[in-house]
């Protein structure tokens, strides 16, 4: 009972802060689901908009359910940006409900460039941010959405977008060069779930995830055995855990490999479906991507 009262007080406090904030702040209000989408909006929109993110560091978007505070934010938003392609599987109902003010950034990518892996039952792989050349389409589309929302800032938004597109080109070249420096037979990326399909295609790595495209699916013993044999056959020195997913499956794979007399180590923690803490290097999309490329390269080289 006491707990409920505290919770209610907290809830009222946040509601109150929320409304006083929005009264004082007349900028258009943009809400983004994932950290990657929020960061893109911030890079391009800067302080011309009030921008809020729903999913913080370590949050798994496949499983995320909106809190009452999230729902209020989404309902209040002048523009709701989300990834789409079923990434935010459990937000489908609210995204539908506020359809006219919401935009799926993945819809900007031509279908012919999307991957529809067999394991995902004919649906497209939603992890589009892991090929920078695809993410550029999403970023351009976010710029268009922001311009439509605040046409008076068109020029500023276009300039910021141009500069950011240049940063993205640099990032793409950097990651390409890093991965190319790994000996070819070791360019195998093994992670907890299949977030890196586009990454593998764009930068030339074989990618294997224990858990499939969505973390909503379970991995089985058979998958662990297949992966173990692959590691031993190719003498893969390292496999990776992800910040938004339990490391349990990867640890059982390491144990299974050790039983067969081969030592594979954890190559570090990769950011897959969420960014790091804001204000740190991995709190931005480009910083997160560089961090992943550096981790992968140093562990497999
Ligand atoms: Zn994922």
State whether residue 239 is helix, strand or coil: strand
> What whole-number distance in Å separates Cα of residue 291 and Cα of residue 226?
28
The overall average pLDDT reported for the chain is 91
pLDDT reading at 12 higher than 70 = no
pLDDT for res 164: 98
pLDDT for res 245: 85
Higher pLDDT, 249 or 72: 72
What ranges in the chain are assigned the alpha helix state H?
Answer: 2-24, 35-45, 68-76, 92-97, 132-149, 154-180, 197-203, 221-234, 248-259, 285-300
CA of 130 to the centre of ligand 1 (A): 11
The model's pLDDT over 25-64, given as tens digits with 9 standing for 90+, comes to 999 999 999 999 999 999 999 999 999 999 999 999 999 9
CA of 237 to the centre of ligand 1 (A): 24
CA of 17 to the centre of ligand 1 (A): 33
Phi–psi pair at 241, nearest 5 degrees? -100, 165
pLDDT reading at 1 higher than 60 = no
CA of 89 to the centre of ligand 1 (A): 11
CA of 1 to the centre of ligand 1 (A): 38
CA of 252 to the centre of ligand 1 (A): 20
pTM score of the predicted model: 0.89
CA of 221 to the centre of ligand 1 (A): 21
Residues 6+ apart with CB under 8 A from 250: 191, 192, 210, 239, 240, 241, 266
pLDDT for res 120: 77
CA of 140 to the centre of ligand 1 (A): 23
Mean pLDDT value of segment 225-233:
92
Mean pLDDT value of segment 202-219:
83
Short-list 78, 89, 104, CA closest to 26: 78
pLDDT for res 23: 66
Residues 6+ apart with CB under 8 A from 209: 190, 191, 192, 193, 194, 195, 196
Short-list 132, 128, 249, CA closest to 193: 249
Mean pLDDT value of segment 204-233:
84
* Residue 24: pLDDT band with limits 50, 70, 90: confident
CA of 266 to the centre of ligand 1 (A): 19
The model's pLDDT over 113-142, given as tens digits with 9 standing for 90+, comes to 999 988 778 899 999 999 999 999 999 999
pLDDT for res 249: 86
Mean pLDDT value of segment 2-25:
52
CA of 8 to the centre of ligand 1 (A): 33
CA of 126 to the centre of ligand 1 (A): 7
Tokens (6 digits) for 107: 């819809």
Short-list 121, 91, 87, CA closest to 107: 87
CA of 48 to the centre of ligand 1 (A): 31
C-beta atoms surrounding 10 within 10 Å: 11
Largest Cα separation within the chain, whole Å, is 65
Q: Which domains does the chain have, with CATH numbers?
A: 2-174 (3.40.50.1980), 181-300 (3.40.50.1980)
pLDDT reading at 257 higher than 90 = yes
* Residue 11: pLDDT band with limits 50, 70, 90: very low
CA of 226 to the centre of ligand 1 (A): 21
């Amino acid at each position: 009972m006491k707990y409920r009262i505290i919770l209610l007080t907290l809830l009222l406090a946040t509601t109150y802060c929320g409304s006083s904030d929005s009264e004082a702040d007349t900028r258009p209000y943009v809400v983004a689901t994932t950290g990657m989408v929020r960061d893109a909006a911030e890079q391009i929109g800067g302080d011309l908009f009030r921008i809020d993110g729903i999913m913080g560091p370590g949050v798994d978007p496949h499983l995320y359910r909106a809190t009452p505070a999230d729902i209020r934010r989404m309902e209040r938003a002048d523009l709701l940006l989300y990834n789409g392609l079923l990434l935010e599987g459990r937000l489908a109902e609210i995204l539908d409900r506020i359809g006219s003010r919401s935009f799926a950034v993945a819809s900007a990518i031509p279908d012919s460039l999307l991957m529809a892996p067999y394991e995902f039952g004919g649906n497209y792989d939603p992890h589009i941010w892991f090929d920078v050349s695809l993410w550029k389409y999403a970023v351009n589309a976010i710029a268009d959405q922001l311009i439509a929302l605040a046409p008076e800032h068109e020029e500023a938004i276009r300039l910021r977008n141009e500069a950011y597109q240049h940063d993205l080109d640099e990032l793409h070249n950097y990651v390409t060069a890093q991965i190319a420096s790994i000996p070819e037979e070791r360019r195998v990326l093994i992670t907890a779930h299949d977030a890196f399909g586009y990454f593998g295609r764009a930068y030339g790595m074989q990618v294997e995830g224990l858990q499939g495209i969505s973390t909503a699916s379970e991995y089985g013993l058979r998958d662990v055995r297949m992966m173990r044999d692959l590691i031993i056959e190719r003498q893969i020195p390292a496999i990776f855990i992800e910040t938004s997913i339990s490391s349990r499956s990867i640890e059982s794979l390491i144990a299974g490999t050790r039983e067969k007399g081969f030592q594979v180590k954890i190559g570090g923690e990769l950011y897959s479906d969420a960014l790091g803490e804001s204000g740190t290097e991995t709190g931005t999309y480009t910083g997160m991507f560089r961090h992943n490329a550096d981790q992968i390269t140093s562990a497999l080289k």
